[in-house]
A and B are shown apart, each in its own frame.
Chain A
Amino acid sequence: MSYRLGVDVGGTFTDLLLINEQTGETFTAKVPSTPEDSSIGVLNGIARICDESGIDPRSVSRVMHGTTVATNAVLTGKGAKVGLVTTAGYEGTLQVARSYCPGGLGGWVSFVKKPLLAPLELTIGAHERLSATGQMVTPLDEEQLRKDLRTLHATGQVEALTICFINSYINGAHEVRAREIAAEIFGDTPISISSEVVPEMQEYERTETTVVNSYVRPEVATYVNNLQAALEEKMGADTQLSILRSDGGLASARASAVSPVNLLMSGPAGGVSGAIYFCSRAGYNNILTFDMGGTSTDVALIQNSRARVRRETIVGDVRVRAPSVDVRTVGAGGGSIAFVPELTKALRVGPESAGAVPGPACYMKGGEQPTVCDANVILGYLPSDVQLGGKMQINREASVAAVQKVADAMGIGLMEAAEGIVKIVNESMFGALRLVSVEQGYDPRDFALVGFGGAGPLHANAMGVLTEAWPVIIPPGPGVLCAYGDATTQVQDEAARTYLMMASDLTNEQLVADLHELQVRAGEALLADHIPESEHEISYQADLRYAGQAFQITIDFSEAELQEKGIALLTGQFDAEHEQLFTFKLNDGHEILMIRAMAKAKAKAIAEFKMGEAGTTLDECKIHESKFYYGGDWHTANIYDRKKLHQGLQVAGPAIIGEMDSTTVVLPGYIAAIDAIGNLLINPALGGDSL
């Protein structure tokens, strides 16, 4: 028997999922995360899951990992001390940034700039210059650079070094040379150069991205190396550790330690991969994902079972040019705090969150402020009168006391206030869903909505009502879906170059030749991980715009498509997408900004998820009778055990479906069916296609 293990390290919990590659049997475990050293939590979890399932750790051949180590280093400001070498005259690139003060008119009055990730006192300028076309204007003054680097090194403060020169996106020669010189002086200190990390135009964004790479690099490297060593000790030397990147691909542990800036969205990417995994098997290839956690909600739009990848990653205040699954985050989650400003008497929810500590009032861990979670308790969506799979005790009285404050401030009743809080938070998540759908020219009604994360299944049915994206799908294990995603993706790498060519000046042959060159580079990482070329799946991308536009659209294509249609394939597809987005198109002036080749290891099938025993009646799945409040009325609702549900059963709302890590609400007038994959499919009870 061989097993693969998916591990998702989140802010609060580390989720694990063990899959038997032959039978599809799964085991899950949830253990507290250990932010001081995440590998401890991972190892605890492995011990737990192997212990509970009785599986020998040595039969686990692959460990696939989604990690927030890099993200947390950024969010908590606990990354490395980064030294920076810029072109002389550009030492202030990070200090000036894009000169932007957020917050609208008058926003500057209260804007406080965060400390730079590479402080100015550790920044030096190198005398060198390349032109915008990559021609040398001023040679690199090596002697001066050596001298300045020695002074920088002598401060004893630099834990990671970054080199970013002007126009190096088009010619990295000076950066490469500067790295050689720096390596002589800095020895083992990791050095990141911008022409390798992100060879894209725009000096601030490229510098910031490369600096962030340096900032998280020592911590990620230590973590990955420790984990790899510990895994080998427990599971044998042939254990393969892979890490999920922000763009949804898997990278080997080795590759991810060098370019950790690509891991910042590792967690959310796992959720999106997991959603795609379950939905595509059920025949839903166009989905909106909606991952609601404690402090925030991530949403994404998936077309043809392929996540859109954006050339930008945002973590807190940090914005970098690293590819990531196009996930939008809103500060609305189960822990979001509701309040009423005295003057306007408006009901506001979030973005402040009660977090894990002190947490929502109902958990009795010191939280007294009313949260979305408390509203859910009061409304009966999170039953307090019965212990579900979760291990946390819920105290409804505490929730009532908290939410009553909001009700009093607004001069309305408790139930009305609780329902108001849920409606407001739903609206704010709806805003995020619109951002990825309607605002990109997609009609949500053409998609299914997938709810997961700790709180997603509670709100999913209501979000379906707002978006009209039916069915609403709750995949198996919605609370550990990220770990599913980790366990079901493939190793992949890419190579890219800035192109800046007018499509009309380019021949098909030239483009094919340039892509082939990138393809070889993209495949190298896979070969290094012992994945033979015959197992590589190659795809291409080009970023296009009308010359002069700042906006760009990424076009995906294969070599066969390019051979058949030529460059018109790209321009035609660009025009079509542009028209969908903006209602107009031009017919010439196409500029190709970047081209990219992606190499991905071919997928290996794993057996399907196992669900409840066929033949069990719905009544036998019932745990308890309860009630919840919806639309101004109380409704009697049965609580069912998801473990026991199986294909063919239908749960009519009002109902609650509980499982270890999550609770699904089925509203009155809706019905949840269980499909062959184990998904819950929620549809309107009348005229829905589930009937």
Chain B
Amino acid sequence: MTARLIETNYQPLAKVDVDGVTVDIIENALRNAREEMDAVLFRTAMSPGIREQGDCFPMIANKDGKMVVGQFGSFIAPFLEAYDAEIEEGDVILTNDPYMCNAAVSHLPDWVVLVPVFKDGRHIAWSAMFGHMSDNGGMVPGSIPIQATNIFQEGIRIPPTKLYKKGVLQSDLLELILHNVRTPQWNRFDLNALVAACNTAAKRCVELAVRFGDDVLFSTMGIMLQRNYDAMKHIIGMFIPEEPREFEDYICDDGMGMGPYKIKCTMWREGEKAIFDFAGTDPQAQSSVNFFLNEDMFKMFFGSFTINVVDPQIVFNDGFYDLVDVRIPQGTLLKPNYPAALSGRTHALGRIFDVLGALLGMGAPEMMLNAAGFSDSPHLFFSGYDTRPEKNGEWFQLFQIGFGGVPGRPAGDGPDGHSLWPGFTNVPNEFIESYFPLRIERYETIADSGGAGLHRGGNGLSVAYRFLCDGDIGIHDERWLTYPWGVLGGDTGLRSTKKLVRVDGSEEWLPAKVEGIKVKAGDMLYFNTWGGGGWGDPFARDPELVRQDVARRLVTVDGAKRYGVVIAADGSVDVGATAAMRKQLVETRGENKPLFNFGGELEDIRARCEAETHLPAPVKPTFSGAQMSAK
């Protein structure tokens, strides 16, 4: 069962010699084309999610479906395997179903558009792009229902489908799809933009083939892939030990009362091959927090983390995939059995980066190990009818992504209130206030939330949302139970919290994953994200830097004591008191600086949970027969 490309020109593309300079020129040109895809999308898309937050990813692949330029790696080969149809010039393929494309996209709100590129009747390349749609129908506005237990509750499933057939838009189909989402206008524009971006890239590929010749373009793509292969071969030999190395981390809960769920990975090298084995990862979750991880996508995560070291200008691609073997057991959190729910996958996706970073860095922690940071994109949904005067009760739904503390790193302090995701930006509050019934009364970094260290973890953000009309909110958040860990003696970062202050003055702490909370006009939600872990010995941090952080209100006078720094009443460093305090703290701690500081054993953290977080501890996951049988 595979896709069949229909060409009118069957003359095969030939592998020819291409001089190095021409390769470099084509490499530049393809890089430009990929950047142009982003530019086209940002300008034409309409939803704040894509437009302002940049939640979208472009790609250009060679005729075999290998990504030559892009970000998250190619899903085309597995997709073609799963797509039983003929593909012709002018076709534009759309899908959103992870189960139909080997997790090319990992939840339904991500719509992926795929365009085969033809020249003179011959198939020469692919362009593709996916973007996160504001809504995909289903149980809840925003279509990321926490309580979903199977994918049918998560909205419309689009199997690989021709949105355009030989250049003709299948408008009945499009209207059917858009009829099933709550934000048809946004989705229409965003989808249009994805298609426009892919078509632009296709045009550029054809122009390059005209300019240099079809065979030269084809061969150059091969050379670009080979360059990555060569570079990664070197990197794997350099960074991946033959001795297995393992690391585990958790997502805190599943939103239905159970957690934490373990993600475990073991890494080693056999010859020139790197192996990542996720055996030991917990079985799939009952709710939507599963992350259906495509093995190739994980290879890409690995490559992008390391390749910058040798040639930051290299156009990063798929060429090295044969050098990496990723093993994910079926039926686990990372490869759940159909029809498990998948929409809330962002947390496990983020945690994968903490795990990967730890595995790669622990061999040379002073040079390469980062603490745990804001590896997530927590969501806030707010929806309802806008009952303010002149708004005529019109339906609204807001989807906001949170930002937090980048961890302390070998490179220095972690930035405050930033994002680890490529291209993500926050949405200006003035924009939100002018289009949605709420007011953002405070938008500030949380002092002391970054873990103390020689390099301070970045602070989390506290965002105070004042609701201006009644509505429903939903929250997806993480790291409220387990800590953003510190490394090399660095402290943990502060965990996340959500506090709802009712208009009558009463207060309640909200769980990290919750939906259907009714809010009234005048209620205020404090959405506090987590800080990054600290890097290195906090008692070795220059007291002057601590003083500066205090003057900047990033660290409090009390918080400075975590660094063993005493700030006098006039704001200066009390040198004598600081020396004494540091001496004592070092003595108490001893010379033993832990490589990882997880904030204690998991069972202790669970035991302290209610007292510290005002929320009941999640129950240790138990797995049903179906889940267990998969193991």
Contact = CB atoms under 8 A, between A and B. Distances in A.
A104 B28 contact: no
A530 interface: no
B42 A551 contact: yes
Interface in A245-287: none
Interface in B222-241: 227, 230-231, 234
Contact of B417 (A99, A131, A550): A99
| Chain A at the B interface: SS class | loop
Interface stretch (A219-227, A419-427, A651-659): A419-427
A372 interface: no
Interface in A548-580: 548-551
Interface in A91-138: 91-93, 95-96, 98-101, 103-113, 119-121, 129, 131-133, 137
A106 B314 contact: no
A106 B308 contact: yes
B422 A431 contact: no
Interface string A616-652: 0000000000000000000000000000000000000
B206 interface: no
B: interface residue count bin: 35 or more
A341 B235 CA distance: 14
A48 B373 CA distance: 60
A344 B311 contact: yes
A89 B524 CA distance: 14
A89 B193 CA distance: 36
Contacts of B426: 96, 98-99
Contacts of B554: 120
A204 B406 contact: no
B428 A420 contact: no
Given A106-B308, A201-B434, A551-B43, A431 B419 contact: no
B419 A99 contact: yes
Contacts of B246: none
Interface in B152-210: 185-186, 189, 192-193, 196, 199
A550 B403 contact: no
A108 B418 contact: yes
Contact of B52 (A132, A201, A550): A550
A299 to B, nearest CB: 13
Nearest to B418: A99
Contacts of A132: 430, 433-434, 439
B558 interface: no
A348 B429 contact: no
Contacts of B21: 347, 416, 419-420, 423-424
Contacts of B419: 99-101, 108
B43 A201 contact: no
Interface in A367-394: none
Interface in B524-541: none
A107 B422 contact: yes
Given A201-B434, A424-B21, A348 B551 contact: no
Interface string A512-529: 000000000000000000
B42 A550 contact: yes
A546 interface: yes
B43 A92 contact: no
B36 interface: yes
A123 to B, nearest CB: 8
B304 A343 contact: no
Contacts of B39: 439
B425 interface: yes
A485 to B, nearest CB: 28
B445 interface: yes
A109 B443 contact: no
B301 interface: yes
A540 B240 CA distance: 62
Contacts of A112: 411-412
B311 A96 contact: no
A112 B410 CA distance: 11
Contact of A90 (B71, B421, B443): B443
B461 A96 contact: yes
B40 interface: yes
Given A202-B431, A500-B434, A346 B417 contact: no
A344 B227 CA distance: 6
A421 B424 CA distance: 35
A203 B429 contact: yes
A106 B357 CA distance: 10
A119 B554 CA distance: 12
A109 B422 CA distance: 11
Interface string B296-338: 0000110011001011011010000000000000000000000
Interface in A434-465: 434-435, 439
Contacts of A346: 20, 23-24, 27, 227, 311, 313-314
A428 B21 CA distance: 13
A395 B566 CA distance: 61
B19 to A, nearest CB: 8
B411 A110 contact: yes
Interface in A404-427: 410, 412, 416, 419-420, 423-424, 427
A344 B314 contact: yes
B415 interface: yes
A582 B548 contact: no
B464 interface: yes
B25 A169 contact: no
Contacts of B25: 423-424, 427
A: interface residue count bin: 35 or more
Contacts of A439: 36, 39-40
Nearest to B571: A121
Contact of A431 (B32, B42, B424): B32
Contacts of A424: 21, 24-25, 28
Given A96-B461, A346-B311, A550-B52, A89 B417 contact: no
B222 to A, nearest CB: 15
B150 interface: no
Given A120-B553, A132-B430, A109 B409 contact: yes
B254 interface: no
A667 to B, nearest CB: 18
B391 to A, nearest CB: 12
B441 interface: yes
A285 B192 CA distance: 34
B443 A104 contact: no
B43 A581 contact: yes
A63 interface: no
Interface in A319-372: 341-348
B230 A344 contact: yes
Interface string B440-482: 0111110000000000000001001000000000000000000
A108 B429 contact: no
A428 B403 CA distance: 35
B416 interface: yes
A203 B418 contact: no
A348 B227 CA distance: 14
Given A341-B311, A345-B20, A434 B416 contact: no
Given A107-B422, A345-B20, A346-B311, A204 B428 contact: yes
A98 B415 CA distance: 12
Interface centre among B234, B411, B422 (most CB of A within 10 A): B422
B513 interface: no
Contacts of B71: 104-105
Contacts of B589: none
23 contacts: A91-B553, A96-B416, A96-B461, A99-B417, A100-B419, A105-B72, A105-B422, A106-B422, A113-B415, A204-B428, A343-B230, A344-B230, A346-B313, A419-B21, A420-B20, A423-B21, A439-B39, A546-B46, A548-B47, A548-B185, A549-B44, A549-B189, A550-B46
Closest 3 CB pairs of A and B: A89-B442, A120-B552, A420-B21
Given A96-B416, A96-B445, 16 more contacts: A89-B442, A96-B418, A96-B461, A99-B403, A101-B422, A105-B304, A133-B434, A201-B431, A202-B431, A203-B429, A420-B21, A424-B24, A424-B25, A549-B46, A582-B193, A584-B192
